[in-house]
Amino acid sequence: MFPNSLRSFKLPHATGSDRSASGVFWRLCSGLAALAIGTFIAYAVWKVSPSAHIAVDWGTTYQTIDGFGASSAGDVDTLSPGLMDIFYATSNSDLGLDFIRLKIYPNLTDCEGDEGAGNCAKVAAGPTLSTPDLANAQAAIARGARVVAGEWSPPGPMKTSSGYQGGGAFKGDSSNYSDLASLQAAFVDEMAKTYHIPIYALSPQNEPDVIEPYPTCSWTAQQYHDYVPYLAAALAKTGHSDVKILIAEKSTWATTYDTVAMNDPAVAADIAILAEHAYGSSASRLTWNNFTHQHIWQTEVSDFGPHDDSIKNALIYAKQIHDWLTVADVNAWFWWALKDDQGETHNCCLADLNGTIAKRAYAIGNWSRFVRPGWQRIGVTNSGPLLITAFKGPKQQFAVVVVNNRRWPVWRQTFTLSGVTARRAPITPWLTSAKASLTPQPAVSLNAAGTAFTYSLPARSIVTFQGQGD
């Protein structure tokens, strides 16, 4: 680890006039100082020198990416066009999110009881949503996004508590299954025909394991199994069989509530998305029987600690995204809320009460802006500590996202492209760090063969390399 000159360092012998105690002392001090400086330099060089072999393998493919999203879900005010452009615009957007998540209310009375009078979309009867959700969904769709909707609670008469607010368990019987399926299918139909909001995916129940004072309801795994066929039939009856049924959105990453449904091949065939939340969880590979066409989504995570807009906080979620993509193989990843409108001081949202975008939002953008729906994750050989994910899209486009969690930069790290060449166009790095927020950096040229490039990665940073193959 240390230079040969340091390995061979010896304390000097005192001779002549240097035989005095003071002469020996000062020569000893200078020698020790030189050793300390040399050791520090050697350690620093060791810390920042690129020792890893990193190769992007174009031919090794994993999951198809559906996209990245966040929630409005009855907890966000109507967002300004400027903020919507930052969150959702398909070109020149800071984040380029793909999904907005909404809350279904079973009727106008329950909606206004939760949101306040005048804050819900008017309907003659049946399900509705808050007016901010309606406006935000329409604005997101205009910018190319897709909509996911979920029920937080069935109507009170369908619950053991008899009330919409608060907890209670779903009373699973054929009558309630049929009535709830009709309500949720009617919501899809109303959104499409009246408000021109096509619903991409529908969740029967948000967090079936949670009982809180806000609208919540517990379900069992057997109830999901029994309910899915009713929902599939109701969607087909209203002409919306293309809407994807999404279950089960447990608050933590586990298969507790969807295993029974997936064990039945007839029911599993109606399920398009298996979704869970990530609170208090580490990424892990979940498995199911009859897993064929289904995609896996992480549909909610947030941070309820004290407000923290630092790169340190952003790197926590950069690592989470990396892990959920590479360990859990998710097709989509969602943050909780788009913007704080409650005056909270925690990290629940991508923008604070004043509309200031959090650093963690830009960290998410290192993926969401460049890795588009339909892209595939591809293989990475990486022998070092950097966290790396790579993706390919149409027309030989690619993105390589590199997370450096360490306090030290990595100088002149070489990245090799295997299975593709990129001689015609340089690669653009996009940097998120303590001082940069998804900021483009000077373009990087590849070697003459178009198969490798070298880049120095700043300490505590996320860098996305955006390129296109020949």
The enclosing H or E element of 144 equals: none
Q: Average pLDDT across each block of 10 residues of the chain; the chain has 470 residues. List them in order.
A: 35 43 50 49 48 93 98 94 93 90 97 95 91 97 97 98 96 98 97 96 98 97 98 98 98 98 98 98 98 98 89 98 98 96 83 93 98 98 97 97 97 97 94 98 96 98 97
Q: What is the pLDDT of residue 175?
A: 98
Contact 443, 398 (CB under 8 A): no
Domain 51-60+377-468 and domain 66-370, same fold? Reply is no
Q: How many CA atoms lie within 13 A of 299 on its CB side?
A: 30
**Distance of alpha carbon 405 from alpha carbon 461, whole angstroms:** 7
Q: Which CATH entry fits the domain spanning 51-60+377-468: 1.10.645.10, 2.60.40.1180, 3.30.1330.60, 3.40.190.10?
A: 2.60.40.1180
The dotted CATH code for 66-370 is: 3.20.20.80
pLDDT of residue 31: 53
Could you give the CA distance from residue 66 to residue 53 in angstroms, rounded to a whole number? Answer: 30
pTM over 0.75: yes
Give ∠ CA 318-320-325 in degrees, rounded to 5. 100
The residues spanned by each domain of the chain are 4-46, 51-60+377-468, 66-370
pLDDT digits over 111-152, tens only?
999 999 999 998 878 999 999 999 999 999 999 999 999 999
* Each residue's pLDDT tens digit, 165-215: 999 999 999 999 999 999 999 999 999 999 999 999 999 999 999 999 999
Token pair of 193 as six digits: 């025909």
